[in-house]
Structure 1
């Protein structure tokens, strides 16, 4: 079991506080393993195993506990027999009706340290904001980064290892399949179907699954390209499907809520404002795209961009696309008082390509770090703009 120390460093300061720890992210990204790692951390701090109460609501045996009063009474009975602080771990909590009331009641009634996981971004909206406002902290758990990928598989950082990452992506369970292509593809396809059914269709009461899959297919093919809802409606019209822009946006929002896609807005660097149209969408895991849509090798520019975007999000940056005049910077990453710009391309194969990728920074006069990232092994840094091979960039220290 890989330790995922980056997340543990974030969580440790909140252990044994009365803040509720909420771990969110796409299904099977490793949230359940994170709960196990937290339990191991507590055991190392001399917490007794009998002080821990743990439930996974995807286990059919726990179906009777998905009603709020049944869950509260079951945990209350267990808690009454425990001496000392009680540690509660509830996996896929969104399966419980009115779970927010249960958590708030437990927090009030007992000396508890509570950890939750969920596969829906709306987990922290609605009633939770009312019942637990200011009393929770959220951690988004992503599939393996490239760094985690090579550690988990005991690989050296080589071009061959990166090619393997390009093909399979970072879903943690694949290491159990030893990254065999057939079984790995089948697992990712099954996972995709599970996300579609449980986290998008059922949770949002969507009735037109065929329409949803067409919209997802369009978004997968357009990774890293700006598009609007009207682009999709025109595409669907060409396929004899009449649908409104609002319906397309609702379906895309359901996908982002389930963490299948991340929507990245654009900003005008010269006008200092966010642009309200033509965002970009990136998929949570490029291996999932290969299994469902294919063509990662053909669309290598898009895939490299997707990998860098997810790495920036994974590191806690707020990410936007930068527009400056007629040029566009792939990513502006901001966190606190830190900021950097990142331009991603496949290869700097000619003087014209080098000129194109570096000149996007011409009108940006600030002194924040500016990067060009590609698969080239040679260093093309110039004029204070740093060039990195993508493998090296992905393994840089956490704060650029």
Structure 2
């Protein structure tokens, strides 16, 4: 289990506070491992084993817990009086009305609750209504490049980055050297998400259509798309679909944290735009699993890594719209904006001028950053050019 101090630090700051800690993220991103690391830390800090209850609802040993009342009774009977009890509920979203059990446990003064889930469904509807203001969401992602680098100390920064671009950062996958085993593992994650987190929740799910939409989003990673455009392309390829159906399936893929939607932001008008979005994969490994050996757009692949890193760092991230020009990312945190352009290389002067052209039309003084794979770091008229590996390791 690789240490993930960023997440452990967050949990430490929230320990024993009367708020439910909800870890969300795509399957196999490391949520359960983070909780195991945290449980080990609790034991080292003097918490007794009997004060800790761990329930993983993918464990068939818990198959008899079929509703919220049985869940509550199971936990309540095992609580230690007059001591703080640490309750960890892993992949709880399939227990009907689980939020009622959580709410009843929450009001106890000697219960500290930790919950994980692999679908945004668990943070909607009843849960959002019943537990409003009582939980804090902690998004968990596959390894960042910085975390990935720590897992492969034998590689140089450039070698590690090349591998990360190809293999991504699902924690367990970093240990799989055999190529076929690695691909099988990643495909298993995708299939589990498609079947268990999406199709199982739909009355009339179409597996083939869902797979084609997932592949399309992967292939167009970083391109502006609309459901109508997706439906037309699929129909031309012999896969019939309406824009409404495509929109519903894309939402399911986003809710399962397999893809992230990036909306547009009008920089001049300072307003959010709802038409046309970009979608980014949660991890670079999805590309090979869904598209095989198809030649990638390297610039778009790099763009996807930057998008996820900005999200990890706590930014709201948008595509910047500036008339006919586009800024790859407008990143907003604590009311401060930063502008990003991403390019493989700008050693050619024409390419450099093309990439900075949108920056030159922005009239405010917020940071403007050009990320490339070129070596070195430069500052020209307030535009910072930074090597992408150096930036990722900040």
SS in 2 for 1:218: helix
Query: Secondary structure in 2 aligned to 1:360?
Result: helix
Post-superposition offset of 1:110:
5.7
Whether 1:346 aligns to 2:344 is: yes
Indicate the larger mover: 347-356 or 256-265. 347-356
How far residue 312 of structure 1 moved from its aligned partner, in angstroms, is 0.4
Q: Deviations over 1:17-69 (max 9, x none)?
A: 11000000000000001111221232233211110011100011111113222
Q: What's the counterpart of residue 154 of structure 1? A: 153
Aligned residues: 394
Structure 1 unaligned residues grouped into runs of 5+: none
Q: Which secondary structure does the structure 1 equivalent of 2:320 belong to?
A: strand
Partner of 1:335: 333
Query: What is the CA–CA distance in structure 1 between the aligned matches of 2:322 and 2:351, rounded to whole Å?
Result: 18
CA drift of 1:156 comes to 5.0
1:86 aligns with 2:115: no
Q: TM-score scaled by structure 1? A: 0.95
CA contact (8 A) 1:57 1:66 kept: no
| Cα root mean square deviation, aligned | 1.6
Deviation at 1:195, TM superposition (A): 0.8
Give the match's secondary structure for 1:249.
helix
Please say if residues 82 and 110 of structure 2, whose CA atoms lie closer than 8 Å, have aligned partners that are also in contact. no
1:315 shift after superposition: 0.9
Query: Distance between the aligned counterparts of 1:296 and 1:142, measured in 2?
Result: 25
Pair 1:110–1:76, CA change in 2 (3 A): farther
- Displacement of 1:363: 1.1
User: Shift of residue 155 of structure 1?
Assistant: 4.2
Q: 2:256 aligns with which of 234, 255, 258?
A: 258
Return closer, same or farther for 1:118/1:191 CA change in 2, 3 Å cut-off. Answer: same
Deviations 1:163-215 (A, max 9, x none): 111111000011332x3322111110111111111111112344211111111
Give the corresponding residue for 2:130: 131
Change in CA separation of 1:244 and 1:374 when aligned onto 2, cut-off 3 Å? same
User: Structure 1's 157 and 334: CA in aligned 2 closer, same or farther, altered over 3 A?
Assistant: farther
Does the Cα contact within 8 Å between 1:68 and 1:101 map onto a contact in 2?
yes
Q: Distance between the aligned counterparts of 2:264 and 2:3, measured in 1?
A: 35
Structure 2: distance between partners of 1:296 and 1:392: 29
2:277 is paired with a residue whose SS is strand
Counterpart Cα distance in 1 of 2:218 and 2:174: 24
Please give the alpha-carbon distance, in whole angstroms, between the structure 2 residues aligned to 1:382 and 1:20.
47
**Contact 1:321/1:332 (8 A) holds in 2:** yes
Determine the C-alpha separation between the residues in 1 that align with 2:223 and 2:332.
Answer: 21
Q: Do the aligned residues in 2 keep the contact of 1:157 with 1:391 (CA within 8 Å)?
A: no
TM-score, normalised to structure 2, is 0.96
Is the contact made by 1:51 and 1:82 (CA closer than 8 Å) also made in structure 2?
Answer: no
CA distance in 2, matches of 1:365, 1:66: 58
Question: Which residue of structure 2 lines up, in the alignment, with residue 281 of structure 1?
Answer: 279
| Residue 21 (structure 1) aligns with | 21
Q: Name which of structure 1's ranges 285-294 and 347-356 shifts more when overlaid on structure 2.
A: 285-294
- 1:218 is displaced (CA, Å) by 1.1
Q: 2-side partners of 1:176 and 1:379: how far apart?
A: 33
Q: Secondary structure at the match of 2:77?
A: helix
The answer as to 2:321 corresponding to 1:323 is yes
